[in-house]
Structure 1
């Protein structure tokens, strides 16, 4: 379908891609991943022809059609209503529609056989292209992306950038191209729209390449992962979770190969040093030096998963009830958000507030944070509660002339520079990065600075509104680790389901203008909610504590009838058998490692899965028998003592 061969793309003196290769096959659903700055968006632009490679080739069929969603479309505007904008996808149908209208107008004054034939031909082609249903299709996709019927009549120019992006996505989906290239398609979608898009893309017949930081979304949609790293494109035959497991396995094998090679190199270097001084061995030493120079070196494994190496502390503990909401009623002229709603946030709660856009999540969050006072009822903050509120608009309150470190110093003067630099390091600001001025940072980098500020506050209650916006996967993982170890209380609004599932222990959602609660993780809520859709009146179930099963240890019986000599003889025989088994298993494991080290296997997902399973199984067997051997050897030593 598309073949990328020896692709090199340079920006100044830096090569984003260096002789990279990648073949995209029909029907593949691919997640293109990698750290920020590794060229994912650039690669999409190269594929669609916006950028020209420095060298290498990109081959594709001449009649291949592509649909490309990119963040540049945010600036697109039109005074047409959004249905008409979406229907621009049907270029030929629209052309035929206009030509048919012209012919019908002509027939009012010039009724000829020639015009009738032309009209008939145009109408037939229009019908074959399903032209009479294109408006219905446009309405259907716009509804899936969260637009109401009233919205469909509004001009595109009256919507915000995020909603305009949804219209552009609808237009691209309606084109039904051979391949979809989607750059961060979930950025401006709420949860229901993301879930609708997942279902749509899973059923899509063409190929798809998705650049996204939403792991949950990728896992649901893709069947192949391509990592952009160090100028190369590495293919993994599965979704994002498969990629993580497979990458860890490859890293383990590479780390073993690296250690083995380093050991051999040191051994060779010691021999060379010994032989170099002897004239009779000098030729041999030179030969070994040349062999070392020609040796293809195995790289050590880089650590791509930075970990939080600091803890968030606060000087005083809150009372049991952090916030109590009673008889809350909140209305806007066009919509009622809450009506006599009640809820309690308790100490230690980590609450995910979820739902569709426009249902009142951010409003409720502002009420909890005390930023919205225009409501009926009471919102009581508990004893000793100190809170910090993070929202995207707070990026504007960063001091643009401040350096990053200076910004944190002025906000958290009680922290030492070492502590602040450690915090910034966890948010991927290392070395001299901390001296960059805020004004030169990207949106994602500013978001990380604002988050670091929020988490250095002496607060036992965090209120977070879309904290994962603009963050890459590494930064999201850092935030997850930070919140998992945070001992205070958290309420967060986010559309990142992986983030929510790893942080929240309670789910809040607004339904029938009430605040409703599910007492569990997001994954548990998701399963429950799917069942509830089939039984809408089902009550939220109380979590049932899991009963731990008591394991009974098998009773070992000693044969008292055997004397010491007989026991030792038998045990030594068993030990010898085990040694034979260990040798055989070690040989099998080594063979499987060799197979997994061969990159050709990664093109056959079934063979890779079988080899991977066999490798894991044999490693487990080897470990178990080695443990038995050690126990048996100790028993023999005790008897011999």
Structure 2
């Protein structure tokens, strides 16, 4: 379909691609991944002909049709309705429709056979191109991307950039090209629209290349992963999760080869050093020197996954109830968001607040954070609660003339420079990067500075509105690690489901103007919700509004004697601690095996051992979480 051969692309003295090769086959659904600055968007522009390669070639069939969604389309505007703009995708059908209308007008006065034949030919072609259904198709795709029926007649220019981007995506999908090139297609979509797009792309018959930082989305759609790294393109025959596992195995093998080669080099260097001074052995020493010079060196494995290496501290823990909402109602003209609803955020909760755009997630978050006072009911902040509120508009509060380090120093004077550098390092600002002026940073870099700044606050309650916007996968992973080891309380709105699934122990959503809760992870919620939608009668009943649920819990407290209950829980805790100790021992043994030369030099044994290690690690983490839950129950009973 498309063949990239020995592609080299240089920007100044830097080679973004250096003799890279890649063959794209029909029907492949590919995720193009790599760190920021490795040239993913550039490669898409090279494929569509916007950029010319320095050398090498890109060959494709002359009649190949390409649909390209890129972030430059954000600036596109029109005074035509969004339905009209979307239907511009049907270029030939629209042309035929105009010609048929013209011929029908002429037939009012001209009844010639020639005119009738022309009309017949146009109508046959129009029908063959399914021209009578194009408006229905446009309505269907716009609805899938979140546009209400009434909005489809509004002018494109009246929508924000993010919504205009959705219209451009609809137009490209309606073109049904041979290959789709999608650069960050989920950036401006809410969760329902992302789920709809996943289903659409899975059933799309052509090839797809997706550049995205949304790993959950990639896992759902792609069957190939191509990594752009160090000027080369490496293909992995599976989705993103497969890529991570396979890359890990390849790196283990490479690390083993590197260690073996380094040991061999040291041995050869010792022999050379020993014999080069002896005349009888000089020839042999020279021969070994030449052999070393010609040896193709194996590179050591680079660590592309920085980890959080600092602890978030707050001076005072909060009380048990962090925020209590009671009888809260909030509405705008012609739109009710919340109606006489309530909820409780408890100490240690990590809540994901999810739902479609326009359902009131950010409004509820602002009420919780105290940034919105225009509502009825009460929002009560608990004892010793200190909060920090992160939202995208706070990027505007950064001091553009400050250097990055100076921005954090002025905000968090109690932290040492070493601590602040450590925090910035975790958010990928290393070395002299910390002395960059904020005004020269990209949107994603500013987001990372604002997040680092928010996390240096002496706060035991984090309120996060779309914290993953503009973050690459490395930065999202860092934020996940930071929140996982944070001992305070968190509520977050995000459309990144991988992020939500890894940080949340409760899911909140707004339904019928009520705040409702699902007590589990995002993945568990998604499975429950899909069953509820498919078979609402057979599925579990929807959670009740939280204020009702709390009352019911009080009524249903077990009558069992408190001391007996405590005794049983403590026994269960003891058994669990023994299980954890046994599992920790097994994990340690597997870690030792992975470091064994005999194992890491044998790919089959390495894969088997690594799989066992991952299973044990997952089991250990789950058991530790269960232990924490049980320990909290015991503390509550003892209080």
- What does residue 458 of structure 1 align with? 458
> Bigger shift: 107-116 or 462-471?
107-116
1:213-240 alpha-carbon deviations (Å, 9 max, x no partner): 0000000000000000000001000000
- What does residue 505 of structure 2 align with? 505
- What does residue 67 of structure 1 align with? 67
In 2, Cα distance between equivalents of 1:147 and 1:388? 34
- Once the two structures are superposed, the pairs formed by residues 363-402 of structure 1 within 5 Å of their partners are 363-402=363-402
1:294-341 alpha-carbon deviations (Å, 9 max, x no partner): 000000000000000001100101110000000001011121100101
- Once the two structures are superposed, the pairs formed by residues 96-495 of structure 1 within 5 Å of their partners are 96-495=96-495
1:603-635 alpha-carbon deviations (Å, 9 max, x no partner): xxxxxxxxx6x753488999xxxxxxxxxxxxx
Deviation at residue 388 of structure 1 after TM alignment: 0.5
Corresponding position: 1:83 with 2:83:
yes
**Is the contact between residue 443 and residue 470 of structure 2 (CA under 8 Å) also seen in structure 1?**
yes
- Once the two structures are superposed, the pairs formed by residues 15-54 of structure 1 within 5 Å of their partners are 15-54=15-54
Aligned-partner SS, 2:10: strand
Q: Alpha carbons of 1:587 and 1:456: their partners in 2 closer, same or farther (altered >3 Å)?
A: closer
The number of aligned residues is 570
Deviation at residue 531 of structure 1 after TM alignment: 1.0
Deviation at residue 153 of structure 1 after TM alignment: 0.8
Q: Alpha carbons of 1:411 and 1:552: their partners in 2 closer, same or farther (altered >3 Å)?
A: closer
Deviation at residue 104 of structure 1 after TM alignment: 1.1
Aligned-partner SS, 1:53: coil
Corresponding position: 1:56 with 2:56:
yes
**Is the contact between residue 589 and residue 618 of structure 1 (CA under 8 Å) also seen in structure 2?**
no
Deviation at residue 111 of structure 1 after TM alignment: 2.2
In 2, Cα distance between equivalents of 1:465 and 1:620? 36
1:368-401 alpha-carbon deviations (Å, 9 max, x no partner): 0000000010000111111010000000010010
**Is the contact between residue 317 and residue 460 of structure 2 (CA under 8 Å) also seen in structure 1?**
yes
Aligned-partner SS, 1:458: coil
Q: Alpha carbons of 1:437 and 1:550: their partners in 2 closer, same or farther (altered >3 Å)?
A: closer
**Is the contact between residue 254 and residue 301 of structure 1 (CA under 8 Å) also seen in structure 2?**
yes
Deviation at residue 453 of structure 1 after TM alignment: 0.6
Deviation at residue 539 of structure 1 after TM alignment: 2.0
1:459-479 alpha-carbon deviations (Å, 9 max, x no partner): 110000000000000000000
In 1, Cα distance between equivalents of 2:7 and 2:477? 31
- What does residue 607 of structure 2 align with? 616
In 2, Cα distance between equivalents of 1:188 and 1:417? 37
**Is the contact between residue 46 and residue 52 of structure 1 (CA under 8 Å) also seen in structure 2?**
yes
Aligned-partner SS, 1:317: coil
| Structure 2 gaps, min length 5 | 544-548, 554-568, 580-592, 614-639
**Is the contact between residue 589 and residue 619 of structure 1 (CA under 8 Å) also seen in structure 2?**
no
Aligned-partner SS, 1:234: strand
In 2, Cα distance between equivalents of 1:431 and 1:26? 44
Deviation at residue 108 of structure 1 after TM alignment: 1.5
Deviation at residue 534 of structure 1 after TM alignment: 2.5
In 2, Cα distance between equivalents of 1:477 and 1:621? 23
In 1, Cα distance between equivalents of 2:186 and 2:102? 41
1:37-65 alpha-carbon deviations (Å, 9 max, x no partner): 00000000000000000000001011100
In 1, Cα distance between equivalents of 2:420 and 2:336? 44
In 1, Cα distance between equivalents of 2:444 and 2:334? 33
Deviation at residue 113 of structure 1 after TM alignment: 1.2
**Is the contact between residue 405 and residue 421 of structure 2 (CA under 8 Å) also seen in structure 1?**
yes
Q: Alpha carbons of 1:380 and 1:496: their partners in 2 closer, same or farther (altered >3 Å)?
A: same
In 2, Cα distance between equivalents of 1:248 and 1:430? 25
| Structure 1 gaps, min length 5 | 554-581, 594-611, 623-641
Aligned-partner SS, 2:220: helix
Q: Alpha carbons of 1:620 and 1:232: their partners in 2 closer, same or farther (altered >3 Å)?
A: closer
Query: So what's the TM-score if we normalise by structure 2?
Result: 0.87
Deviation at residue 208 of structure 1 after TM alignment: 0.3
1:470-527 alpha-carbon deviations (Å, 9 max, x no partner): 0000000000000000000000000000000000110000001000000111011111
In 2, Cα distance between equivalents of 1:370 and 1:462? 13
1:395-414 alpha-carbon deviations (Å, 9 max, x no partner): 00100100000100111111
**Is the contact between residue 107 and residue 115 of structure 2 (CA under 8 Å) also seen in structure 1?**
yes
Corresponding position: 1:539 with 2:537:
no
Aligned-partner SS, 2:400: coil
1:91-138 alpha-carbon deviations (Å, 9 max, x no partner): 000000011111111112222111111111001100000000000000
1:65-95 alpha-carbon deviations (Å, 9 max, x no partner): 0000000000001111111100000000000
**Is the contact between residue 78 and residue 155 of structure 1 (CA under 8 Å) also seen in structure 2?**
yes
In 2, Cα distance between equivalents of 1:336 and 1:394? 27
- What does residue 4 of structure 1 align with? 4
In 2, Cα distance between equivalents of 1:222 and 1:85? 29
Q: Alpha carbons of 1:380 and 1:10: their partners in 2 closer, same or farther (altered >3 Å)?
A: same
